[in-house]
């Protein structure tokens, strides 16, 4: 009797319910589930469950646009990279009516083409034009609004988030772009050459001059967006100073909830004080890589911004005493203090154990000179952590790592790279069985990212005992010279969801060692085997047979230029990094 799938469990669920179930899976898992039977295949390729998937067009863009045009896919998030903007009317008519997010990165854009595309994307909410060639305004230099359809676009536009991180940006271009958007709530000008001095503005704005094509000034930016309900503002890597921060925070005091000023070297405590005074309802603050900011600044932030949920003060001059001020932030969810000096063990331990931390989800304290007891303490008092980065912690011990995977069972991201004291005992501790505790890191069943790069004492024994991660997508074992083919066989079998694998400078690996992870059915998209000196052209032959692989690094491997060129011809969609260090 022939098997009828409709008579079994496969056919007992309505398509709508199957689609809802598949929507919780990653794309690779959906496709794998679709191989079960015809019913599941139909649900797995249903366009309704791919609405939040980011579609990236980078190489052979014209061909990929044609494929997308003739597919049944519903595209809501589109990224176009490294090409000239194609205004194919049929494509944009099809994609535009569902598109909510459009990002143009390193593209060549003509203004008329740009506006033509936006006219067909009436449901657009997010627009990004990042590191693109100079976008010329269609108007005469210094004269505004020569495009009548710009007004029509603005009236019908729903764009509320704009990212214009371009060094070429000028007042004229900025004004033109903002005329085709709606009431912007989120604006990023990260890395722009923004002039903040009044003298510069006076020089380029004689009487009658508007929207200069020669300079980008804060004064004109504020004129353009002063009535916008800005909630998110990113001015990282610009030259804004204390006066600018005070003016910006006063202008948007009623609406601003998220502010980014990383690597703004002219900013200091006075500016942060004004920010805290003017915008006490901030929920996200990024002040990273500002060495002028230290404990006094952090104290002001923690005492003034009690609603803060995300705080980044990485690469600032923060000590253990300043770090202890976080006790005031009852709603804190994410904190980044990497490259600060948190070396006073007693102070940090007392702070961590001073109160419960029910909301904390992500903590980055890499390169902070912390002691092992600090890691043990936070593992016990922050059980809700989903992401933890303790990389470059020279004093991190096996016992401290065991505390992590014993108490932090919700972890999805764990980074412990460049911790030279760690051994296999950090991954596996069989004596825990006597006390009923987990015996290995495999207890972190939901782990999606694990970094052990540079932990040079980790060997096959640790990998074989602990690496059982069905959901792991990123694994870094670079600079672990003791690993052999046994580890890769185990990883290929027990980490089936891997999409990025770093094995840089694992010097015992050769062509045969890599065979298990280079299967045609593998989900691997990125492979870094640079510095594996026994890897030869044979590995490139296997790489060619892995259709999912999109990037491979064979720097300083024993591969020939001819083999690399042949691979690039055979797989034009594959990026091969082959330089000699």
Looking at the structure, tell me whether residues 208 and 159 fall in a common domain: yes
Q: What sign has the CA pseudo-torsion 304, 306, 307, 313?
A: positive
Mapping DSSP onto H, E and C, the string for 430-444 reads HHHHHHCCCCEHHHC
pLDDT per residue as tens digits for the range 542-566 = 999 999 999 999 999 999 999 999 9
pLDDT per residue as tens digits for the range 155-175 = 557 899 999 999 989 999 999
Q: What percent of the chain has pLDDT over 90?
A: 77
- Per-residue pLDDT at 8: 52
Of the residues 459, 491, 523, the one at which a domain ends: 491
pLDDT per residue as tens digits for the range 221-270 = 999 999 999 999 999 999 999 999 999 999 999 999 999 999 999 999 99
Looking at the structure, tell me whether residues 362 and 449 fall in a common domain: yes
Cβ-based neighbour number of residue 9 at 10 Å: 9
| The two structure tokens encoding residue 567 | 């691979």
Q: Give start and end residues of each alpha helix (H) in 143-215.
A: 148-156, 171-178, 198-204
Asked if residue 255 belongs to a domain, the reply is yes
Looking at the structure, tell me whether residues 218 and 316 fall in a common domain: no
Domain count, the chain: 6
Integer CA distances (angstroms), 255 to 159, 227, 229, 242, 437, in order: 17, 11, 6, 20, 48
pLDDT per residue as tens digits for the range 377-416 = 999 999 999 999 999 999 999 999 999 999 999 999 999 9
Instruction: Note down the domain range covering 103.
Output: 54-133
Distance, in Å, from the CA atom of 336 to the CA atom of 338, rounded to the nearest integer, reads: 6
Looking at the structure, tell me whether residues 485 and 503 fall in a common domain: no
CB contact at 8 A, 145 and 119: no
Looking at the structure, tell me whether residues 357 and 457 fall in a common domain: yes
CB contact at 8 A, 164 and 189: yes
Q: Give start and end residues of each alpha helix (H) in 338-484.
A: 345-352, 372-381, 398-407, 460-466
- Per-residue pLDDT at 74: 83
Mean pLDDT estimate for the chain: 91
Looking at the structure, tell me whether residues 306 and 250 fall in a common domain: yes
Distance, in Å, from the CA atom of 495 to the CA atom of 469, rounded to the nearest integer, reads: 5
Q: What percent of the chain has pLDDT over 70?
A: 93
Per-residue pLDDT, averaged over 205-220, amounts to 93
Looking at the structure, tell me whether residues 560 and 511 fall in a common domain: yes
- Per-residue pLDDT at 9: 54
User: Residue 270, exposed/middle/buried by CB under 10 A (0-12, 13-18, 19+)?
Assistant: middle
Integer CA distances (angstroms), 204 to 13, 38, 177, in order: 68, 67, 20
Tell me the pairing of strands 413-415 and 310-312: unpaired
CATH number at residue 23: 1.20.1280
Looking at the structure, tell me whether residues 421 and 536 fall in a common domain: no
- Per-residue pLDDT at 570: 95
Asked if residue 318 belongs to a domain, the reply is yes
How much is the pTM?
0.91
Looking at the structure, tell me whether residues 348 and 337 fall in a common domain: no
- Per-residue pLDDT at 50: 66
Question: Would you call 575 helix, strand, or coil by DSSP?
Answer: strand
Per-residue pLDDT, averaged over 427-437, amounts to 88
Residues whose CB is less than 8 angstroms from the CB of residue 311 and which lie 6 or more positions away in sequence, other chains included: 284, 285, 286, 301, 326, 329, 332, 334, 335, 336
Of the residues 325, 341, 357, the one at which a domain ends: 341
Asked if residue 155 belongs to a domain, the reply is yes
122 has pLDDT over 50: yes
Asked if residue 111 belongs to a domain, the reply is yes
- Lowest-confidence segment of 4-13, 112-121, 404-413, 524-533 by average pLDDT: 4-13
Looking at the structure, tell me whether residues 284 and 205 fall in a common domain: no
Give residue 151's pLDDT band: very low, low, confident or very high (50, 70, 90).
Answer: very low
Residues 296, 365, 529, CA angle at the centre, nearest 5°? Answer: 145
Distance, in Å, from the CA atom of 524 to the CA atom of 503, rounded to the nearest integer, reads: 13
Asked if residue 49 belongs to a domain, the reply is no
pLDDT per residue as tens digits for the range 460-481 = 999 999 999 999 999 999 999 9
CATH number at residue 555: 3.80.10.10
Of the residues 133, 164, 184, the one at which a domain ends: 133
Asked if residue 234 belongs to a domain, the reply is no
Backbone angles phi, psi at 388, to 5 degrees: -140, 130
Looking at the structure, tell me whether residues 202 and 255 fall in a common domain: no
- Per-residue pLDDT at 152: 47
Asked if residue 402 belongs to a domain, the reply is yes
Asked if residue 235 belongs to a domain, the reply is no
Looking at the structure, tell me whether residues 172 and 264 fall in a common domain: no
């Amino acid at each position: 009797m022939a098997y009828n799938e409709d008579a079994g469990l496969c056919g007992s669920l309505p398509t709508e319910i199957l689609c809802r179930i598949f929507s919780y899976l990653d794309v690779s898992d959906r496709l794998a589930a679709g191989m079960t039977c015809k019913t599941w295949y139909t649900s797995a390729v249903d366009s309704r469950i791919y609405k939040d998937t980011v579609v990236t067009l980078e190489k052979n863009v014209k061909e990929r646009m044609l494929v997308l045009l003739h597919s049944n896919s519903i595209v809501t998030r589109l990224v176009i990279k490294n090409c000239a903007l194609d205004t194919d009317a049929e494509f944009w008519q099809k994609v535009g009516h569902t598109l909510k997010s459009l990002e143009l990165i390193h593209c060549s854009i003509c203004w008329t083409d740009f506006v033509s595309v936006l006219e067909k994307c009436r449901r657009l909410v997010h627009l990004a034009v990042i590191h693109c060639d100079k976008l010329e305004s269609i108007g005469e230099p210094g004269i505004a609004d020569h495009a009548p359809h710009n007004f029509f676009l603005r009236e019908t536009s729903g764009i509320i988030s704009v990212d214009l991180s371009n060094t070429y940006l000028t007042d004229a271009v900025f004004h033109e772009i903002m005329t085709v958007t709606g009431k912007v709530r989120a604006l990023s000008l990260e890395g722009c050459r923004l002039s903040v001095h009044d003298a510069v503005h006076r020089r380029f704005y004689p009487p009658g001059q508007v929207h200069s094509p020669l300079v980008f000034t804060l004064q004109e930016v504020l004129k353009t967006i002063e009535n916008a309900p800005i909630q998110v503002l990113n001015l990282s890597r610009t030259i804004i100073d204390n006066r600018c921060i005070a003016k910006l925070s006063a202008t948007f005091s009623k609406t601003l909830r998220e502010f980014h000023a990383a690597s703004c070297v002219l900013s200091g405590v006075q500016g942060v004080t004004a920010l805290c005074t003017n915008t006490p309802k901030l929920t996200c603050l990024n002040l990273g890589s500002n060495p002028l900011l230290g404990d006094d600044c952090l104290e002001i932030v923690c005492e003034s911004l009690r609603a803060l949920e995300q705080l980044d003060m990485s690469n600032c001059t923060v000590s253990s005493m300043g770090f202890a001020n976080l006790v005031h932030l009852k709603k804190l969810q994410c904190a980044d203090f990497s490259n600060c000096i948190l070396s006073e063990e007693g102070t940090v331990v007392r702070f961590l154990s001073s109160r419960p931390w029910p909301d904390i989800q992500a903590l980055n304290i890499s390169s902070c000179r912390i002691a092992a007891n600090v890691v043990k303490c936070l593992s016990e008092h922050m059980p809700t952590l989903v992401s933890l980065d303790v990389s470059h912690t020279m004093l991190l011990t096996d016992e401290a790592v065991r505390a992590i995977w014993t108490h932090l069972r919700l972890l999805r991201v764990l980074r412990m790279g460049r911790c030279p004291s760690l051994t296999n005992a950090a991954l596996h501790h069989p004596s825990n069985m006597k006390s009923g505790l987990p015996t290995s890191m495999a207890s972190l069943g939901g782990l999606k990212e694990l970094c052990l790069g540079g932990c040079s004492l980790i060997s096959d024994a640790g990998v074989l005992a602990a690496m059982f991660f069905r959901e792991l997508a990123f694994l870094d074992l670079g600079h672990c010279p003791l690993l052999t083919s046994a580890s890769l066989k185990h990883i290929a079998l027990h980490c089936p969801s891997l999409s990025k694998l770093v094995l840089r400078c694992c010097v015992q690996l050769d062509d045969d060692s890599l065979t298990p992870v280079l299967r045609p059915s593998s989900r691997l998209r990125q492979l870094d085997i640079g510095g594996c000196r026994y890897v030869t052209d044979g590995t490139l032959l296997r790489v060619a047979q892995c259709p999912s692989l999109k990037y491979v690094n064979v720097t300083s491997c024993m591969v020939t230029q001819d083999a690399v060129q042949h691979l690039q011809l055979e797989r034009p969609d594959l990026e091969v990094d082959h330089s000699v260090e």
